Structure 1
Amino acid sequence: MDTITLRPFRPEDAPWLVERHGTLYAQDEGFDDSFAPLVARIVDDFIANHDPDRDQGWVAEADGRRLGSIFCVGLDETTAKLRLFLLVPEARGRGLGRRLIDTCMGFARDKGYLEMQLWTHESHRAACALYAATGWQLVDSKPVHSFGVDLVEQSWKITL
């Protein structure tokens, strides 16, 4: 893989982002077809309502191929939410996840957010390990049945 660049999310990335989330989560986690529509709603909301001065999405690319994504979306004046963090399998284990998280958190700091939150599932072990390694704290964990499977839903936060 040649040089990986991070560029701002563009609306034409939306179909890829929705498809990759739906396909990879079905393959890796057994999620049903209710997950991709949730991702589509999140992406559509971002496109329609984001504040470019306070919200940003990034897409990682190499040789014109999309490899991952991450978003920073304001919840209120002091809190941002990390969303839509994804790496395709061939991009994992190369430090790109850390780079995406660092970029997202740096943006949040630069925009004056004091803390960040995220929602995930315990089964995303590599992502959860990365959150912990970058200073995030697990603040809530509960069993749920979502997307056709039994999961442990987690909430994390970090003070910036």
Structure 2
Amino acid sequence: MLARFESDGLATRERSAEDGRRQVVRLTPRGREVFALLDERSADDVARLRLLHVEPGARGAGVGAALVDACVRFAEEAGYAEIMLWTTALQRPAHRVYARAGFVLTEEEPPVSRFGDTVHGQVWRRKL
């Protein structure tokens, strides 16, 4: 799906020069950046999806799924054995995207006070 955005000139990928195992994907429909994803190493064989953001007005169009798919493919090509991400229990629509991409909820953290609210952290993982 990301290829469609790239062919329309709406997506860019930047691979880190230092080791080639990190990547940023940006989508810029209508001339403004509305989506960004950073894939960063958590351990030598585990990629970490560090940030995924889709603006509210663009949700439901499949771009989140395209970004997650691009991150998974990048992690596979870079030789990682697994990819993981941290999110919160409140992000239910994102959970559906992760589950469809093959991620499994592996850890639920006890509630903590973060970001001015009570947060229930979750770790999702996918073997590559």
Count of residues paired in the alignment:
121
The alignment's TM-score, normalised by the length of structure 1, stands at 0.69
After superposition, the C-alpha distances for 1:110-144 in whole angstroms (9 at most, x for unaligned) are 01001011111010111111111111011111222
The residue that corresponds to 2:10 in the other structure is: 5
After superposition, the C-alpha distances for 1:33-53 in whole angstroms (9 at most, x for unaligned) are xxxxxxxxxxxxxx9xx7351
Correspondence 1:117-132 to 2 at 5 A: 117-132=84-99
SS in 1 for 2:50: strand
After superposition, the C-alpha distances for 1:84-116 in whole angstroms (9 at most, x for unaligned) are 100011111001011000001100000100101
Distance in structure 2 (CA, Å) of the matches to 1:84 and 1:92: 16
SS in 1 for 2:79: coil
Correspondence 1:144-159 to 2 at 5 A: 144-159=112-127
Residue identity matched to 2:116: G
Correspondence 1:1-160 to 2 at 5 A: 3=8, 5-8=10-13, 51-142=18-109, 143-160=111-128
In terms of fraction of residues, the more strand-rich structure is 2
The alignment's TM-score, normalised by the length of structure 2, stands at 0.85
Distance in structure 2 (CA, Å) of the matches to 1:52 and 1:127: 29
In terms of fraction of residues, the more helix-rich structure is 1
